Structure 1
């Protein structure tokens, strides 16, 4: 980093945007970074480039060109990010760092407004001094004070989630060897994609696929079709690992594909008929009726799944992992991860009523705005489906087999969100979740917290109540604008 010979009472960081020099008081500069990986925030002003992981904290990174020089095109590759204090740490994308320098500050009048200029011997010799606090306040006028729940790091929908859990039985469903099964949500720690680097174990039995690393421990993987005595082809790209707590340890069950998350009334779940239990026990605990069409899903018993197999003597997890398991009830939170336009977002499991495949036909609603893609019948209830891409101000996506409808319920509101995919269920440590820096400019996007994942990436977590309320406002506002859909109902894929 070049140092200037000019001395003075104060020092400044001088940098460039385009062809012009700018300066910040060095006392508010915390560090200089190479451009980090950024996580986009939906609905954010253009000045917010995204969030970066700075030692476990979510750092808002601002594109200074869009704030100071909106006439300039955004830099394709900014050379540095300046971390500075503006009431809270912010990252500032700059084109080039010139030097830390002393200099002489002077005031210039431009009509009725004042600007501060720095005379120095570095760069062009003349730099505009930025008042970072005032600049950020002007660029993000809608910033709101965090709620007490956010400040404490508590789930925003905790009360609603608790009520939903009490009224319904929550199940994670999946397909194994072409058949539908489910496990109680409370026995499922998380659902993960199957990594390519599975380490096989010799002479471990037909059901044992090997082991993978998971948060500093080793997770054994078992083929669920093999455990059930079913023939199945090798796992493909759609395969998932359902991490289940079996006998005090965690075991990964490899399934063909993740199915819907089901929340069913107790009277929709029936015990296994006694005639099927003759001759011994069965690994199926119950049969649930999913819809009016009579679709049935078998609910497996996590306690009896390994009985009679040679894999019951799998090595136990480490002492530290056991401590984490014992503390899991009060120190973790489960989220469903969904994808929109290449970005992943999380939402509390308790707010997800279910996850559905996109039907081939959805009924168009008359005079509905473009972000409402149609309506579907969910067990006798008509549910409006909102395109989450359009809700986040993004172009619509293309139809594909991964697309899903996430049915959210919070504060008495229910809506189906059309997303590009639902990839997994995660159990997050409470100390990995922090309130999101409030630079989004759109409270209705629902992003109120950010989680730091094991690979140091960031996962924005949406508050279902805020997301549904913001979606409802967007639908009403769009419906009042000229040019909204006003056609008769028709069918659309």
Structure 2
């Protein structure tokens, strides 16, 4: 059999009841019943999933479906082998689609029942409990038939049980915890901070729709005004883009990989603002925020800055901007509206209500990276995002994933290495790492991630339950955002499952012990 196309043609000649797909592993010939095989594909790119079974290679995108891909060699206790041009994935029906990686697909055959022998009397290098039987051929050759259900069940007890996973993904915290969190939100200002020519600014997070990486180039518009750099395609709609540097009257520089576009809403439409870099998500107590003195507005107009945050005992000042003041000129608003690129019909009351909350039929996530994979948590669960300090206070006899404690504006913050928590190897500390601060079980806890990528707005139609590959994985990674157009798959982490109740309690106790004033704690 020379190609996948030849295999497809051969399927027509095989009766499903007596047909088998044969393939090779470690020099031996095996088979799956044709009735269980959905299709055969080349080895796809996969997204690694933490806490899955050892045989799991990852999740792949199969024409918009999430496909778990597993190593059949590993399932059968065989030595692993590198993938090559002949490697194939046989997609079988195991309750939900599941792909088995094999060395090479041989052919599709029809078998005379008389040429088959029960697997009970067969001894092989493969575990006997996954054998169905043996196909005997002329010349003494034999093909071992494998039991699809037992292979799936031996590695993935939870794979076929997807009921209720969406409910788990939407599970809520206890009412007392929600009340505490709501009270804290009322007393804090949530901001997204960014840098422009070395100075730090911020926008209220409720004015930010999403944050995306700047493309390599922006399509310039003929006769565009002074503010609009051009337009970019954002999931099928034209987004006018302006430069924050130009808003501030600074020299506009060429786009670089660290540049980000912050998408904000203004009267008359949506606009993307190019920032030099996006730094952190901040949650700042209102007592640390002061309005900008009136005398500082110049040139006969109101300043874009509406207030200033005093952080780190006043050593770090962050200017909070107002979107409305940034684009307060009618000429600028009209100029932006001209480049929206669409002529929407009037909104219904329901559509207007959905638009008012800024999300509509979408969810907002903070996206971060561990190794080469992208994870995400609901933006509402993120308290703030901070840099990793140079040193942390170690906690003796704690969990192996606990890195230590830091002083976060007078509050002791336990810090967890998320790599270790998810069963990944620890990484070296670098400048890109961040601490994502979450509240779990009423305890504020920081999780070290390799980097924070963006705040992404994801349509609910691309969210689906993650395959339940193991009990712990199913609890932690409850959903995936499948984005085939972007060649991305986001693993959505269930925040309230990151720490068990006893682990959260232990971290709270450690934080209370260290909550006394101490010169040893490191201020962030």
Same fold (TM over 0.5): yes
Return 262-271 or 170-179, whichever deviates more.
Answer: 262-271
Indicate the residue corresponding to 2:516 in structure 1.
none
Query: Any conservation in 2 of the 1:41–1:51 contact (CA below 8 Å)?
Result: yes
Alignment of 1:414 onto 2:444: yes
State the 1:442 CA deviation.
Answer: 2.8
Secondary structure, counterpart of 2:497 in structure 1: helix
Match of 2:416 among 366, 370, 386: 386
Instruction: Give the 3 Å change call, closer, same or farther, for CA 337–16 of structure 1 in structure 2.
Output: same
In structure 2, the partner of 1:296 is: 317
Change (3 A) 1:116 1:235: closer
Q: CA RMSD in A?
A: 3.5
Out of 61, 68, 78, the residue aligned to residue 71 of structure 1 is: 78
Q: Tell me, in whole angstroms, the C-alpha distance in 2 between the residues paired with 1:72 and 1:50.
A: 18
**Does 1:429 find its partner at 2:436?**
no
Mapping 1:191-270, distance limit 5 Å: 191-231=211-251, 233-270=253-290
Q: TM-score, normalised by structure 1?
A: 0.86
1:59 is aligned to 2:83: no
Matches within 5 A, 1:53-452: 53-68=61-76, 70-77=77-84, 79-103=87-111, 104=113, 105-107=116-118, 108-109=120-121, 115-119=131-135, 125-141=141-157, 145-146=161-162, 148=164, 150=166, 154=170, 163=182, 168-231=188-251, 233-276=253-296, 279-293=300-314, 295-308=316-329, 311-312=332-333, 313-314=335-336, 315-319=339-343, 329-440=359-470, 442-443=472-473, 446-452=476-482
Gaps of at least 5 residues in structure 2 are 1-5, 511-519
Shift of 1:320: 5.9
Seen in structure 2, the aligned counterparts of structure 1 residues 203 and 382 have a Cα distance that, compared at 3 Å, is same
Q: Select the residue among 464, 475, 494 that pairs with 1:463.
A: 494
Q: Distance in 2 between matches of 1:155 and 1:176?
A: 39
Return the alpha-carbon distance in structure 2 between the equivalents of residues 322 and 466 of structure 1. Answer: 42
SS in 1 for 2:90: strand
Contact 2:365 2:457 in 1 (8 A): yes
Task: Tell me the secondary structure at the aligned position of residue 49 of structure 2.
Answer: coil
Distance 1:266 1:6, change over 3 A: closer
Shift of 1:249: 1.8
Cα distance in 2 for partners of 1:6, 1:59 equals 26
How far residue 130 of structure 1 moved from its aligned partner, in angstroms, is 1.9
How many pairs align?
Answer: 480
Q: Report SS of the residue matched to 1:329.
A: coil
User: Over residues 187-206 of structure 1, what are the superposed CA-to-partner deviations in whole Å (9 max), with x where a residue is unaligned?
Assistant: 21211112212223355345
Gaps of 5+ in 1: 480-488
Displacement of 1:366 = 3.0
